[in-house]
């Protein structure tokens, strides 16, 4: 019993001493610095929060009075405001020290000033200050200790001291809103996960010799070393590429640019007559394939080199806002599909020093076609004179690209090679601009005709009585309209555009996506040997795809079969109605083919209608490989772009269709039999004319 009483008494004494302070003035407690007329602010109690009733905006006075004496406030002690719901703190210029955990877990704190005179940001000082948006670290500060700004979720701006020599462990860990940070030239130590944050887009280092810095291997652990720009002192790119840890970054950029050319040669003009000139850029693998090729008005020349070295600065003849920009693929993109750019950014400036992002693309699905324009729309109203284009990452170790053009372009297109469409194959008309040698391609929809032999079409392999409405792309490149989306974590998928899976949705600004989608580095599965792949890399990607299907007739008992190979999750819609919902991975044994790996699902005929239909697919890639292909076959339907009776395909049913039908019967013109067989008896003759007249008159 005595031992229990002694322990209770001891704890009482400890609690009393832990809550002790020299005096309290206003709502703050102070400890006198022994033998001086100075004090430090301290906690009211050793707990969280450290004050019972402290909240809102706090102003720490420069002097306080007690017992007839005036004291100067020179610091904050350990745990001073820990856990308090304060929103802002104003510190006097006399403060020269801030203790460990002084603002630890002040989750409502949005702003605080650090006086010039503070030399160290102690451990846990601003840990879990989740509302802190900006901080200015004065030049008096020489050291940031462990966990100094860890988990400051909203921290966007850090003005860094020029004299910081050491960044402790987790100094800025998981500051998920921080996009840019500067490391001073005098820095000699960087601790584990000091700058580990996935939001970082730019790290500006002023260290001249990175090999002399003691840096932990995991200093940038969750920072995306492929997309985050490491901006280094002039002439130090190779030093950083050869330095441990720093060489994890793909995109290492020299901080210094020469002055803009006062008398440039305008290599390219946009549709409004604005001229553009190449200023300078990254080095390629040879003098003839360097950055100057990116704006020389010749799509037959190219840049080829490392992703981090693929960048250029372009000057415009006047300030312009960017409504779109164009990338032109290289002249060997089909052959070297692994060298397409993946992620990049376009920036603008008017002073050649401060650059603003105009557009940032991540994991963009570039086409694997030679010298082809890829037009990317943007919504920018700010006008700029200078533009900087930088590739953040590529499909493989190297990248190649032909041209970078700003705003809408003028071309005189001349028709070249044409590939005729077939029953299960799109056609293609190829055009070339003789001025800049760029190509464009127009897809021609499949004809719908079949050539049956022993019950099987010799062209596409479909059985008699069926129609292939969407065909798999194992033996040819098949294009669909698609929107690529990327999410940053496995918690939230980006929102799909309103009505994206309906017929009325406008998908003109979506890309032409070549199927099958497959990653070139996918070592197993049905697509590894194909010579064309869609650019779909990394985790947490998704595609929204739209396939148009035209039907002129649907009989009772019609059946629709959707066949697919997929990885991860998939939803299929017909005219906005969800018809398939699959989660998980499909089986992909080594060497499997379309025939051995594909699965089938039945789609109810009620989802389809006569006329235009949209089959929409939402494909998620969560982890690992990435691939997708599909086909849709049907029995009991008639394929055609027109409604029943729209023989000439103009979208209307009237007397002109009667004339078109008679001309076909008389052999004057050729028509798609599926459109001309109005009564659906498998023949085209006079009885179809009668059926068509009845439709026009409203009799049937």
Give the pLDDT confidence of 161-199 residue by residue, as tens digits.
999 999 999 999 999 999 889 999 999 999 999 999 988
Give the pLDDT confidence of 329-348 residue by residue, as tens digits.
998 876 676 687 878 999 99
Three-state DSSP class for residue 295: helix
The pairing of beta strand 38-42 with beta strand 69-76: parallel
Percent of the chain with pLDDT over 90: 46
Q: What are phi and psi of 602, to 5 degrees?
A: -95, 135
CATH architecture, domain defined by 465-639: Sandwich (2.60)
Rounded Cα distance, 113 and 235, in Å = 36
User: Predicted confidence band at 4 (pLDDT cuts at 50, 70, 90)?
Assistant: very low
Looking at per-residue confidence, does 72 or 527 come out higher?
72
- Max CA separation in the chain (angstroms): 119
**Strand intervals (E) in 187-295:** 189-190, 202-205, 214-215, 229-232, 251-254, 268-269, 275-281
Q: What's the average model confidence in pLDDT over 603-612?
A: 90
DSSP string of 385-404, one letter each residue: EEEEEEEEEESSS-EEE-EE
Lowest mean pLDDT among 246-260, 349-363, 437-451, 516-530: 516-530
Domain boundaries, the chain: 2-219, 268-406, 465-639, 655-697
User: Predicted confidence band at 505 (pLDDT cuts at 50, 70, 90)?
Assistant: very high
Q: Are residues 576 and 609 in contact, defined by beta-carbon separation less than 8 angstroms?
A: no
Structure tokens at 112: 């605080």
**Helices first, then strands: H and E counts in the chain:** 6, 46
Looking at per-residue confidence, does 413 or 364 come out higher?
413
* pTM metric for this prediction: 0.51
pLDDT of residue 166: 98
pLDDT of residue 676: 72
Kindly tell me if the per-residue pLDDT of 2 is higher than 60.
no
Give the pLDDT confidence of 252-261 residue by residue, as tens digits.
887 766 678 8
Name, of 224-228, 369-373, 412-416, 530-534, the range with top average pLDDT. Answer: 412-416
pLDDT of residue 415: 92
Kindly tell me if the per-residue pLDDT of 642 is higher than 70.
no
Rounded Cα distance, 641 and 633, in Å = 17
Rounded Cα distance, 616 and 470, in Å = 11
Q: Does this chain's domain 2-219 share its CATH topology with 268-406?
A: no
For residue 472, CA distances in Å to 373, 389, 424, 632 come to 26, 37, 9, 8
User: Predicted confidence band at 543 (pLDDT cuts at 50, 70, 90)?
Assistant: confident
Instruction: Specify the CATH number of the domain 2-219.
Output: 3.80.10.10
Please list the residues that pair with 146 across neighbouring strands: none
Q: What's the average model confidence in pLDDT over 397-404?
A: 87
pLDDT of residue 425: 64
pLDDT of residue 148: 98
Kindly tell me if the per-residue pLDDT of 153 is higher than 70.
yes
The pairing of beta strand 166-167 with beta strand 143-144: parallel
Q: What are phi and psi of 225, to 5 degrees?
A: -75, -10
The mean of the pLDDT values for the chain is: 83
pLDDT of residue 1: 37
Kindly tell me if the per-residue pLDDT of 314 is higher than 90.
yes
Rounded Cα distance, 641 and 652, in Å = 11
CA-nearest of 521, 496, 552, 555 to 627 is: 521
pLDDT of residue 587: 52
Structure tokens at 35: 């033998």
Kindly tell me if the per-residue pLDDT of 7 is higher than 80.
no
Q: What's the average model confidence in pLDDT over 367-390?
A: 89
Q: Give the DSSP letter of residue 164.
A: -
The length of the chain in residues reads: 700
pLDDT of residue 691: 82
What is the dihedral sign for C-alpha 47, 53, 55, 60? negative
Structure tokens at 316: 């415009």
CA-nearest of 398, 384, 263 to 322 is: 384
Q: Give the DSSP letter of residue 340.
A: S
pLDDT of residue 682: 62
Q: What are phi and psi of 437, to 5 degrees?
A: 70, 20
CA-nearest of 501, 479, 647, 480 to 579 is: 501
- Alpha carbon distance, N-terminus to C-terminus of the chain: 104
Q: Are residues 141 and 118 in contact, defined by beta-carbon separation less than 8 angstroms?
A: yes
Domain 268-406 has CATH 2.60.120.260: yes
Give the pLDDT confidence of 80-126 residue by residue, as tens digits.
999 999 999 999 999 999 999 999 999 999 999 999 999 999 999 99
Three-state DSSP class for residue 359: strand
């Amino acid at each position: 019993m005595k031992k229990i009483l002694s322990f209770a008494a001891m704890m009482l004494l400890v609690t009393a001493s832990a809550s002790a302070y020299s005096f309290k003035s206003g709502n703050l407690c102070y400890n006198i610095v022994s033998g001086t007329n100075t004090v430090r602010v301290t906690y009211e109690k050793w707990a969280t929060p450290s004050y019972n009733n402290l909240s809102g905006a706090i102003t720490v006075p420069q002097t306080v009075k007690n017992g007839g004496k005036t004291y100067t406030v020179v610091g904050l002690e350990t745990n001073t405001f820990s856990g308090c719901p304060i929103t802002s703190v104003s510190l006097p210029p006399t403060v020269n020290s801030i203790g460990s955990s002084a603002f630890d877990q002040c989750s409502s704190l949005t702003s605080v000033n650090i006086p010039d005179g503070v030399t160290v940001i102690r451990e846990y000082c601003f840990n879990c200050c989740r509302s802190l948006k900006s901080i200015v670290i004065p030049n008096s500060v020489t050291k940031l200790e462990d966990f100094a700004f860890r988990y400051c979720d909203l921290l966007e701006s850090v003005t860094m001291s020029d004299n910081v020599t050491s960044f402790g462990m987790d100094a800025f860990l998981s500051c998920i809103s921080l996009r840019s940070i500067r490391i001073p030239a005098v820095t000699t130590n960087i601790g584990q996960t000091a700058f580990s944050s996935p939001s970082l887009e730019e790290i500006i280092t002023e260290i001249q010799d990175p090999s002399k810095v003691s840096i932990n291997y995991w200093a940038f652990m969750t920072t995306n070393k492929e997309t985050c720009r490491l901006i280094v002192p002039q002439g130090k790119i190779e030093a950083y590429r050869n330095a441990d840890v720093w060489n994890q970054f793909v995109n290492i950029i020299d901080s210094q640019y020469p002055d803009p050319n006062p008398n440039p040669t305008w290599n390219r003009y946009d549709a409004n007559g604005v001229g553009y000139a190449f200023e300078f850029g990254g080095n390629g693998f040879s003098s003839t394939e360097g950055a100057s090729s990116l704006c020389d008005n010749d799509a037959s020349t190219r840049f080829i080199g490392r992703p981090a070295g693929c960048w250029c600065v372009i000057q415009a003849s006047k300030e312009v806002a960017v409504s779109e920009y164009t990338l032109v693929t290289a002249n060997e993109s089909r052959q070297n599909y692994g060298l397409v750019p993946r992620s990049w950014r376009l920036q603008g400036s008017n002073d050649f020093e401060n650059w603003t992002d105009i557009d940032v693309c991540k994991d963009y699905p570039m086409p694997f076609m030679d010298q082809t324009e890829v037009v990317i729309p943007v919504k920018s109203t700010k006008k700029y004179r200078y533009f900087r284009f930088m590739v953040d990452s590529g499909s493989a170790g190297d990248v190649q690209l032909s041209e970078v053009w700003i705003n809408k372009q003028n071309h005189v297109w001349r028709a070249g090679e044409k590939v005729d469409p077939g029953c299960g194959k799109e056609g293609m008309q190829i055009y070339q601009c003789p001025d800049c040698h760029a190509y464009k391609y127009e897809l021609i929809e499949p004809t719908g005709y079949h050539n049956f032999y022993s019950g099987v079409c010799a062209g596409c392999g479909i059985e008699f009585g069926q129609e292939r409405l969407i065909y798999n792309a194992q033996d040819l490149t098949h294009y669909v309209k698609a929107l690529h989306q990327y999410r940053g974590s496995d918690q939230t998928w980006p929102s799909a555009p309103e009505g994206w899976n309906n017929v009325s949705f406008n998908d003109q600004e979506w890309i032409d996506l070549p199927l099958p989608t497959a990653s070139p580095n996918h070592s197993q599965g049905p697509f590894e040997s194909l010579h064309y792949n869609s650019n779909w890399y990394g985790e947490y990607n998704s595609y929204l795809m739209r396939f148009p299907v035209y039907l002129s007739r649907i009989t009772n008992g019609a059946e629709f079969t959707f066949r697919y190979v997929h990885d991860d999750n998939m939803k299929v819609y017909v005219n906005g109605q969800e018809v398939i919902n699959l989660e998980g991975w499909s089986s992909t044994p080594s060497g499997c083919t379309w025939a051995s790996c594909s699965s089938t699902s039945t789609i109810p005929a009620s989802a389809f209608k006569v006329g235009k239909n949209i089959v929409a697919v939402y494909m998620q890639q969560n982890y690992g490989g990435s691939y997708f292909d599909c086909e849709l076959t049907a029995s009991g339907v008639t394929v055609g772009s027109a409604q029943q009776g729209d023989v000439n395909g103009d979208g209307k049913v009237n007397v002109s269709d009667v004339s078109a039908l008679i001309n076909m019967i008389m052999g004057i013109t050729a028509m798609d039999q599926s459109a001309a067989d109005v009564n659906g008896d498998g023949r085209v003759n006079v009885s179809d004319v009668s059926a068509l007249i009845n439709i026009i008159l409203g009799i049937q």
